[in-house]
Amino acid sequence: MSVNKVILVGNLGRDPEVRYLPSGQTVAKFTLATSDSFSDRAGARQERTEWHNIVVWGKQAELCGQYLKKGRQAYIEGRISNQQYEAKDGSGKRYRTEIVAQRVQFLGGRAGADGGMNEPMDIGPSDNAAAPMDDEDIPF
């Protein structure tokens, strides 16, 4: 048995880049920053930021493009994927580590007059995740 699972909570480093593949599939890519605080040998408080490349597919990708913006906090649950490619300058193989998101939750509010959300929004894990329903939409 093996497990490949990642859980991250951080802030977007840039707006999601949403593309539509020839097959009709939607993909969104963005970076997520996570920070860790620790004390160094001298006892001084240090902070380290890690940057993660996030890839989201399907309906979740469309929603990420619609609601996520640079600086917004998000919860990402997914798996690690390592990509190998040839460098454009022909200098050899390069590697890229990505987190393929299976669940995305938008955290915190979004400032602005565009009616941004003030509550967290969970859009996973289903690839066919729908927008959240209002109380009026519930059939009972």
DSSP states along 91-126: S-EEEEEEEEEEEEEEES---STT----S-EE--S-
Overall average pLDDT of the 53-73 stretch: 96
CATH numbers and ranges of domains, the chain: 6-35+47-132 (2.40.50.140)
The verdict on pTM exceeding 0.85 is no
| Alpha carbon distance 10, 49 (integer Å) | 10
The predicted pLDDT at position 63 comes to: 95
The predicted pLDDT at position 88 comes to: 87
The answer, yes or no, to whether residue 66 has pLDDT greater than 90, is yes
Overall average pLDDT of the 38-63 stretch: 94
Q: What is the pLDDT of residues 110-125, one digit of tens each?
A: 544 344 444 555 666 5
β-strands 6-12, 73-86: how paired?
Answer: antiparallel
Overall average pLDDT of the 69-79 stretch: 96
The predicted pLDDT at position 127 comes to: 45
The answer, yes or no, to whether residue 133 has pLDDT greater than 50, is no
